[in-house]
Structure 1
Amino acid sequence: MDTLGYFVSIFIGISLGLIGGGGSILTLPVLVYLFGINPVLATAYSLFIVGITSLFGTFSNFKKGLVSIKTALVFGIPSIISVFLTRTYVLPAIPEAVLSIGNFTLTKNIFLLLLFAVLMILASYSMIKKSKAASEETSQKTFNYPLVLAQGIFIGLITGLIGSGGGFLIIPALVNLLRLPMKTAVGTSLLIISLNSLAGFLFSLHDTAIDWIFLLKITGFAIAGIFIGMALSKKIKAERLKLGFGWFVLAMGLYILIKETLLH
């Protein structure tokens, strides 16, 4: 399973390079199901892998003018604060047994995975539905600071809880709410993801034992993948990226939901 896990890790980077998100959607299942890592520890590992990989993608997109710094900072600052509060106070406060009914016990690990799956399914809807308002050609709205701040806080909460950079939530927000062109949304999303993820990882170091050799191996495969993804993105239309991203997120969300309920 380890060999398969390292191979699939390449697709973490490919996903980030193609669509500016989805890396954590692969990272958490790979760590949990292929390497057998505890889901809580896997959230910390996921933050590092996705954060470093996204950073490489950010540099490349910045050179092409595909990163909105203003959007990333307004998103990123409240997100980082939210990540800190979540990793420091909220996540440790969740009990090991979240809910017990008779012989059924909803553990903290399963709760985090189910939360991850539900959010993925909800986010996929906004990307799959066809809407003229979400078209890349639509003119941008006035920059709504309260809306962007609120989105940043929420994404920081999700990043802190489930070790996700939040790309599967950031992309719909940038495209549907702020009307950024898909290519710019991808580049901006990578910067926001790298800020959120690396901050979250740093906030986790005080109580987490890290296997650095293992972590750097997976990160290396993911970094190779992001360059492949960015090369492929030049040949794929933006609207197809959006639709494909939505279906990918939906499929992974349903898989985790079924795996942790019906097949657990």
Structure 2
Amino acid sequence: MSLTEILGYFGALFIGIVLGLIGGGGSILTVPILVYLLTINPVTATAYSLFVVGASSLVGAIKNMQKGLVDYKTAFSFAIPAVTVVFLTRRFLVPAIPNVLWTIDDFELTKNIAIMLFFALLMLFSSYSMITSQSLTNAVSQKRPSYKLLVLQAVIIGVVTGLVGAGGGFLIIPALVLLAKIPIKRAVATSLLIIAINSLIGFTGDIINTSVNWSFLLIFTFISILGIFLGMYLSNYIAGKNLKKGFGWFVLLMGSYILFKELFN
């Protein structure tokens, strides 16, 4: 086993630890770890990421269900349109994207580069959300929930999740608070169930198009889940909120690195 492979598996553990400590964000690193450390094709990496993110989120969702924090009506109102779009994106849209999108002088924009560039932009948006730490605690108003806008948001997030294999929790949570009008604590808990459903069912859209290395994928996912429990244990001693901004800056650097590498390498 090479050094980069060892670092890749440590990366899986790190993903879980971050999820356990701050309740989200760690999954944004799954695709870069799979692509740059474990040299997996970006399209395959986004498929694997859906499985890893889905399984990891399911662990957190089950814990929140036991605590009675999940709003099931909102979860399924959001998840049904979102998971339909994720599945269709993975099953039909991603395979339909041509291997070469366009060529400008000596630069050739391939499907793999385009996916990583889009993912890098998603990382930058995610890092901004974590760094600014805009509070949604008091965002719930007395107005009626806007389920039409919630469904529209679900469709948009479904496309993003399907394209890059990220859970999109930083997009889902504000939607649940601002549109479904549920408290932030329940929104965080409910988002994990939505992410688990979106990611795991979305992954099934890849099974026909992707040759899955199940032994690798299950080991990587198992290590990530172990990291979640380790992160939960460490959260008793470390305040996750204090780490969120620091992790946001790390994600910002990673996203910037991916942009530079894909455009100028």
TM-score, with length taken from structure 1? 0.88
1:73 is the counterpart of 2:54? no
Whole-Å Cα distance in 2 between the matches of residues 234 and 67 of structure 1?
22
Match of 2:159 among 153, 157, 160: 157
Letter in 2 for 1:203: G
Whole-Å Cα distance in 1 between the matches of residues 22 and 13 of structure 2?
15
User: What is the aligned partner in structure 2 of residue 212 from structure 1?
Assistant: 214
Taking only the aligned residue pairs, the percentage that are identical comes to: 56
Whole-Å Cα distance in 2 between the matches of residues 103 and 139 of structure 1?
51
User: What is the aligned partner in structure 2 of residue 185 from structure 1?
Assistant: 187
1:14 is the counterpart of 2:8? no
User: What is the aligned partner in structure 2 of residue 251 from structure 1?
Assistant: 253
Q: Structure 1 unaligned runs (5+)?
A: none
1:124 is the counterpart of 2:154? no
Q: Is the 1:20–1:171 contact (alpha carbons within 8 Å) kept by the matching residues of 2?
A: no
CA drift at 1:237: 5.8
Q: Is the 1:20–1:189 contact (alpha carbons within 8 Å) kept by the matching residues of 2?
A: no
For residues 96-134 of structure 1, the C-alpha deviation after alignment (integer angstroms, 9 at most, x for no partner) is 111201111011001001001112223433443365xx4
Whole-Å Cα distance in 1 between the matches of residues 82 and 23 of structure 2?
17
Match of 1:84 among 87, 98, 106: 87
Whole-Å Cα distance in 2 between the matches of residues 74 and 114 of structure 1?
31
Letter in 1 for 2:260: I
Match of 1:223 among 222, 225, 235: 225
CA drift at 1:29: 0.8
SS at match of 1:99: strand
Letter in 1 for 2:12: S
Q: Is the 1:79–1:152 contact (alpha carbons within 8 Å) kept by the matching residues of 2?
A: yes
Check 1:221–1:50 CA distance in 2 against 1; reply closer, same or farther (3 A cut): same
User: What is the aligned partner in structure 2 of residue 25 from structure 1?
Assistant: 28
SS at match of 1:204: coil
User: What is the aligned partner in structure 2 of residue 199 from structure 1?
Assistant: 201
User: What is the aligned partner in structure 2 of residue 39 from structure 1?
Assistant: 42
The Cα RMSD (Å) is 2.4
CA drift at 1:67: 2.1
User: What is the aligned partner in structure 1 of residue 263 from structure 2?
Assistant: 261
SS at match of 1:206: coil
1:109 is the counterpart of 2:112? yes
Whole-Å Cα distance in 2 between the matches of residues 252 and 181 of structure 1?
31
Bigger mean CA deviation after superposition, 184-193 or 26-35: 184-193
Q: Is the 2:124–2:252 contact (alpha carbons within 8 Å) kept by the matching residues of 1?
A: yes
Q: Structure 2 unaligned runs (5+)?
A: none
Bigger mean CA deviation after superposition, 159-168 or 41-50: 159-168
Deviation beyond 6 Å, 4+ runs, structure 1: none
Check 1:178–1:14 CA distance in 2 against 1; reply closer, same or farther (3 A cut): farther
Letter in 2 for 1:254: S
Q: Is the 1:4–1:34 contact (alpha carbons within 8 Å) kept by the matching residues of 2?
A: yes
Q: Is the 1:23–1:50 contact (alpha carbons within 8 Å) kept by the matching residues of 2?
A: no
SS at match of 2:166: coil
